[in-house]
Structure 1
Amino acid sequence: MSKPAFIAHSLCLGSVLLLGACNSSSEVTQALPASSVALADCGAGSQPETGLQGQVPLADRQSGRNLSAYSCNLKLVGQYQGHGASVVSPSQSHCAYLSTSGALLDPLQLLESNPGVYAVDVSDATQPRFSANLPGPAMNIGTWESLKTNAPRQLLGGAAVGPLTGVGFFDVYDISQCESPVHLNGIGDSSLEVPDNLFGHEGNWSPDGMTYWSTGNALGTITAIDASQPASPRIVYAGIAGFPVNHGLEFSADGNTMYLATCFPGGVAIYDVSEIQSRQSTPSIHPIGSVHWNAFSCGQHALPVSWNGKPYLIAPDEFDSEGIHILDISDPGAPKIVKQIQLEIQRKENAAIRSADTAGSGLFGYESHYCTVDRTDNPRALACGYFQSGIRVFDVRDPLQPREIAYYNPAAQTGKGLSLQHSLHAWIGGLLPTISDLYTSDSGISVGTLSIDARYVGNYVAQLPSLLTNLGDGGPVSGNLSADWCSSPPRFVGNQLWVSCMDNGLLVLEFTNGVYSPS
C-alpha cells in the first residue's frame, strides 16, 4: 500500500470508529451546477450580518457582537428557552416539542422534576409556555433526529438514540390535545415499554401515519414499525438500505416511494416500499435510482415537492459545506441535480475562514440541516435550519434561480452551558472537533481523493486544554457556544416561522418588510 493510500485508509478507519462506516470507493459523482444564491435585501428593523452570507465572524465572536441576533426581514416575537433542545424538535398545531440530549450523555437529567421531551404551548405566540413533559424511555434516552409528528393521525413518535445510534425503544404519543400528550404504548400507566425497534438514529412517519420508519445510520440499517395500533407497535420489516450510512427519509404522498438520504457518499437513494405500505406478508424494498455528489459528505433528508407538475427533491447536506441540492426526479431511476444552494461562507474559497470561525465551537460548522417549504405543490418559500448560520429563507418560485429573502441567526448563549443541559450543543457536542469540515474537498492537504484541514486539527488540539478548563462557559461540556445550532425543521405558520435551536430553544419569528405573505 502506498503512503497516500495508507493515510487515506487510516482516515477512513477513523471515520468508521466515529460515525459507523466509510465509503472508500472512487464512485463517480455528478458535476454540480453553479451554487451561488442572491443575497437578501434587508429592510427596516434588520440587524444584518457583518461578514459573509451565513457567517458569524471570528471578530464578532471575540468582541461580543454575536451575543445579539443577526436578522434580515425576520423578527423575534416569542421564545421559550427552557433548558435548550436537541437535534430535531418539531411542532404541530399550536404546540412544539423540545427534544433533549438524553440521559446517556447527562444522567442527571433523570433526576429532573420534568424529565424527557418538553411540550410547549404556543397558543399565545408571544409567550410560549411549558405545558407537559414526555418521560417515555426514548424521550429520556434522547431521540436525535427521529422525533417527528404525523398530522393526519395526530401522533408524535421517536426512537431511542442516545449519543449517535440506539436500540430497542420507540415511543408513541397521542397529541390530539397537543399541550397534553398521552403516552400510548406504555405498559399500563407506567412509562415502561416493550422494545419495538431495532436501530435508531433518524426516523419519520409514512404520510398516512400507519408506519414509522427508523434508520440506524451505521451500516444502512432500516426498520419499519406498524403503528396502525399505536398502543401496540410492531416491527414489520428490517433490512439494509443506503449502505454504508443512511440518514433521513421522506415519502411520496401515497407512501409507496421512499427518498432516503445517504452519507459517505452524500446523496439520495430512491426505493419502492409499496410492499411494506400494503402490508404484504413477506415484504421487501426495491431500489429505483440514486445520485451522489460528494464521497465525504452526508445527506440529511430529501423533501419531495413539485413545480408545475414536475417532481423534485430538496436535499440539504450536513457535511463538507455542501449546502442544499435540488434534484429533478422526473425519471426516478436517474435523479439529476439541477441546482446547488451554498451560502457565501460555505464556498470553496472561504474554507480557511470557516475553520478559523468555528474552531472550538463544536461538532458542526456552517452546515445546512433540515428544510421546509410553505407548500409542496409550487412552493414559493424554502426555510432551512443551519448549524451556526441560523434560519435562512429563500424565494424558490423559480427552483433554478433561488434567492435569499430573510434570515435570523439567534444570539449566542456563551457562558450559559451549564443551564442548557438539554442542548446537544451545550452538552458534549460543543466540545468536539468540527468533523463536518474535517473531511473536506475544499482545503488542507490533499491525500488522493481525500483532503483534511490539518490547520484546523492542529488548532483544535492546541485549544483542547482551555476548552476543558473553561468552567465559565459551561466547563468540560459545551465549548465556547459562540454561535447556536439551529438544526430543527422550521415550520411556516401564517406569516411566522416556528423553529427550535439547540441553545435558544423555541423561537417564534415573524416576516417583516413584505418579503413573504402566506396568501
Structure 2
Amino acid sequence: MSARTARLLAVAACAALAATPSASASPSSSGGPKTPSRATALCGPGDNPEPGMQGETPLADLEAGRTATPYVCGMRIVGKLDPWGRGDNAMLKRSRQCAYVYGGGERKGIAVINASDPKAPKAVGLLDTPGAIGGSETMDVIDTGTRHLLVAGDYSGGLRPPGPAPLDIYDISDCTTPKLLTTFYWPANIHVPKISPDGMRVYASREYGTDGLMVLDISDPARPIYMGEYPLVLPGGKAQRCHDMWINDDQTRLICAGSVPMIEARKGDSAPSIWDITQIGKPNPEWPTIRFVGTSDIRGQGDHHAPLLRVRGRQYLVAANELRCTAFPRIFDMTDEKSLRMVGEFRLEANDRCLDDPAWAKANAAGSYGLHYNAVVDDAWGGVVLGLFSFMGSGVRIVDLRDPTHPYEVAYYHPGAIDTPSPPGPLAGKTDSCMSINSFVPETGHIWFVCRSGFYVAELSKAVRAKLGASAP
C-alpha cells in the first residue's frame, strides 16, 4: 500500500470522529484543481483549516492577504508573548513554569518567561552573557533532584578553532531568576550541548574542524573541568560529526543525529547512529573511549535531531533532517541497536509534493515546509504518545505516535503572515516560521512552542483529547 493510499484511508476512518470542512474547488497555487485536504487532523467548530495541501501556504492566499489569520485545527492558543516585540524568536527550553526563548534583534539573547499564568506569560529577564547572547540551538536544561541548570553556548558568534567559545552555566533553582555560575571557554566553537541525565556532564558537538565530541565535568557547576575531546570513529576509520545528541537514562548510550559516514552533501546519506559511552572517564587502552554500536541501512533522514521514544516498553528513535521541504521524521525500532529498523514515517502532503516534483519545491516551498525539530513525548496525560513537530512554515504539527508504524496527525497550528524575514525561499519576509524543540507541560496539558512571532501556549481540543484517550488535566 502506498503512503498516499494509506493517508486517504486514514482520512476516511477519521471522518466519523470529526467533521473536517472540505476545501473549495478553486485553483491551487500550483495551477491544478484544488482537492479536499487529505490531512487527518480533527478539525471542529471555530477552526480555520488549511485550504489546500496539508502543510501548504497557498501562494494565492498569500497574495490575497488571507494568511493574516493562521490555519488552525484541533487546538487553540491559550496565551502568547513576543518578548519586547522583537519578532525574531527561534528556540525554546523549559524548566517548570519558565520558558527560555532565544531570539535576535535589539534584545538578542535568551528571554526568561514566567508562564505560571499561561494566559498571560511575562518576560521577566534577558540573558545576554557571552554564551547566552548567541544561544540559539546551543542551550539545554536539566531538572533532576536538586540540580536545576541551564547551559548556553554561542551558536554563531564564538571563535572558530583555535579560538575559544563560551558556555554559560546558570543555576535556575529559581527558574524566574537564573544566576550565572561561570562562563567556561571551550577550545573550539560548539553546536549543540547536551546535559547528561544525572546533570553531571555536558556533551558538545564541535561546530567546526575535527569530528567528535567534547565533554565537560559539571559535578561542581561553578568549577567545570574539561575532560577532553573524543573522536567518533566509524567502522573503516571515517569520522562522525553529530548535529544533536540524545543520552539514555543509564548513560551507557549516546544517540547521534548525523550522517554516516559524514559527507559534505549530508542530506542524502543521513541516518541516526548509536555509540557506547561507558568508558568516558575510565581510560582503557584496549577499548575505544567511545565505541560505535550501530546504525540503519535506510538513509536519507536523521542528520539533525533524533530523540528517543518509548512505546509500550519498546524504544524507538524519531530521526529527521532539517530545513529543506524534503525533511520529515522517520521512526526507527531500537530493539537491535546494531541494526536500526525503520518502521514508520510522518510526511505532510507538502513534503510528498516536494519529493515528487522538484520544480514545484523550488518554486513554492524551498526553505519553508521542511521539518526543523521533532520533539516527542511518551507520557502525555500519563500514557499518550505524541510527536510535537516543528515544520517551519507549515507550523507545529501534533501527531499521534501510539502506533509508531502508523503515525497520524491530530492537530496543527500553521502560522500566518509576519513582518520580519522568514527562512530563505519565495515566502521569505511574508510568512511566520516555527522552529523550536517543543514541550508538553504535564501539570496543565498545555503544549509550548516558539515561532518567530513569539512564545505560544496551546491546548488540544476536547475532541482531539477524546480521540487520544486523554483526560483533561
TM value normalised by structure 1: 0.72
For residues 125 and 238 of structure 1, what CA distance do their matches in structure 2 show? 42
Kindly provide the amino acid, as one letter, of the partner of residue 132 in structure 2: M
The answer to whether the aligner puts 1:136 opposite 2:129 as a matched pair is yes
Partner residue in 1 for 2:278: 274
Alignment check: 8 A CA contact 2:318 2:374 kept: no
Residue 356 (structure 1) shift: 2.3
Contact 2:401/2:408, CA 8 A, preserved across alignment: yes
2:365 to 358, 369, 374: 358
Contact 1:170–1:197, Cα closer than 8 Å, also in 2 = no
Partner of 1:119: 112
The residue type equivalent to 1:273 in the other structure is: I
What secondary structure sits across from 1:305 in the alignment? strand
DSSP-derived class of the 1:99 partner: strand
Query: For the Cα contact (< 8 Å) 1:495–1:518, is it kept in 2?
Result: no
SS of 1:274's partner is coil
- Residues 44, 513 of structure 1: 8 Å contact kept: no
Structure 1 residues 18-33: aligned runs within 5 Å = none
Deviations 1:472-508 (A, max 9, x none): xxxxxxx83322221111111232111111x211001
The equivalent residue for 2:139 is: 147
TM-score (normalised: structure 2): 0.79
Does structure 1 residue 260 correspond to structure 2 residue 264? no
Q: 1:162 aligns with which of 156, 166, 175?
A: 156
Relative to structure 1, the CA distance from residue 139 to residue 317 in structure 2 (aligned partners, 3 Å threshold; closer, same or farther) is same
Where do residues 368-379 of structure 1 align in structure 2 (5 Å cutoff)? 368-375=372-379, 379=384
Match of 1:302 in 2: 306
Counterpart in the other structure of 1:3: none
Task: Give the one of 320, 329, 338 matched to 2:334.
Answer: 329
Q: Using the alignment, how far apart are the partners of 1:54 and 1:509 within structure 2?
A: 19
Q: How does 1:80-99 map to 2 (within 5 A)?
A: 80-82=81-83, 83-99=86-102
Distance 1:234 1:344, change over 3 A: same
Matched residue, 2:458: 509
- 2:36 corresponds in structure 1 to none
1:237, CA displacement in angstroms?
3.0
Amino acid aligned to 1:506: F
Change (3 A) 1:163 1:74: farther
Provide the alpha-carbon RMSD of the alignment. 2.7
How far apart are 1:116 and its partner, in Å?
2.5
| Identity percentage of aligned residues | 26
Note if contact 2:390-2:438 (Cα within 8 Å) is conserved in structure 1: yes
Q: Deviation at 1:399?
A: 1.1
Paired letter, 2:387:
L
Structure 1 window deviating more from structure 2 (122-131 vs 309-318): it is 309-318
**Among residues 432, 445, 455, which one is paired with 1:484 in the alignment?**
432
Q: Is the 8 A contact 1:144 1:201 kept in 2?
A: no
Distance 2:135 2:389 in 1: 20
Matches within 5 A, 1:428-447: 430=423, 432=424
Equivalent pairs, count: 406
Higher helix proportion (structure 1 or 2)? 1
Are 1:324 and 1:341, in contact at CA under 8 Å, matched by a contact in 2? Answer: yes
Q: Deviations over 1:1-29 (max 9, x none)?
A: xxxxxxxxxxxxxxxxxxxxxxxxxxxxx
Tell me: higher relative CO, structure 1 or 2? Use CA pairs within 8 A at least 6 residues apart.
Answer: 1
Measure how far apart 1:221 and its partner are.
3.4
Cα distance in 1 between the residues matched to 2:135 and 2:244: 13
Question: 2 CA distance for matches of 1:480 and 1:368?
Answer: 16
- Equivalent residue number for residue 184 of structure 1: 181
2:2 & 2:91 partners in 1: Cα distance?
A: 30
> Which residue of structure 1 aligns with residue 221 of structure 2?
230
Structure 2: which 5+ residue stretches go unaligned? Answer: 11-39, 260-265
Indicate whether 1:199 and 2:199 are aligned.
no
Structure 1 residues 33 and 236: CA distance shift in structure 2, 3 A: farther
Give the counterpart letter for 1:255 in structure 2.
Q
> Which residue number corresponds to residue 230 of structure 2?
239
In 1, the alpha carbon distance for the partners of 2:245 and 2:203 equals 8
**Counterpart secondary structure, 1:158:** strand
- 1:100 is displaced (CA, Å) by 2.8
Q: Is the 8 A contact 2:325 2:350 kept in 1?
A: no
Shift in alpha-carbon separation, 1:72–1:364, aligned structure 2, 3 A: closer
- Tell me the distance in 2 between the aligned counterparts of 1:33 and 1:255: 39
Question: Compared with structure 1, are the counterparts of its residues 412 and 195 closer, same or farther at alpha carbon in structure 2 (3 Å cutoff)?
Answer: same
Counterpart position of 1:386: 391
What's the CA shift for 1:246?
2.2
- Aligned-residue offset at 1:327: 0.4
- Secondary structure of the residue aligned to 1:488 is coil
Q: What is aligned with 1:410?
A: 415
Deviation at 1:194, TM superposition (A): 4.5
Deviation at 1:293, TM superposition (A): 4.0
Question: Secondary structure of the residue that 1:375 maps to in structure 2?
Answer: strand
Measured at CA, do residues 298 and 325 of structure 1 come closer, stay the same or move farther in structure 2, by a change above 3 Å? closer
Query: Which residue does 1:172 correspond to in 2?
Result: 169
Q: Distance in 1 between matches of 2:55 and 2:357?
A: 12
Q: In the alignment, is the contact (CA less than 8 A) between 1:49 and 1:70 conserved in 2?
A: yes
Cα distance between partner residues in 2 of 1:160 and 1:292: 34
Summarize the Cα distance change of 1:216–1:84 in structure 2 as closer, same or farther, 3 Å threshold. Answer: farther
SS of residue matched to 2:332? strand
Q: Distance in 1 between matches of 2:218 and 2:61?
A: 48
Q: 1:165 to 1:323 in 2, by over 3 A?
A: farther
Distance 1:173 1:84 in 2: 25
1:268/1:164 Cα in 2 relative to 1: closer, same or farther (>3 Å)?
farther
CA distance in 1, matches of 2:174, 2:187: 26
Post-superposition offset of 1:379? 4.7
Take 1:197 and 1:326, find their aligned partners in 2: how far apart are those partners? 35
Matched residue type, 1:301: H
Whether the 8 Å CA contact 1:86–1:99 is kept in 2: the answer is yes
Question: Is the 8 Å Cα contact of residues 192 and 244 (structure 2) preserved in structure 1?
Answer: yes
The answer on whether the counterparts of 1:169 and 1:197 sit within 8 Å (CA) in structure 2 is no
Deviations 1:45-70 (A, max 9, x none): 21101111111111122111222111
- Provide the rounded CA distance (Å) in 2 between the counterparts of 1:57 and 1:136: 41
SS of equivalent to 1:202: strand
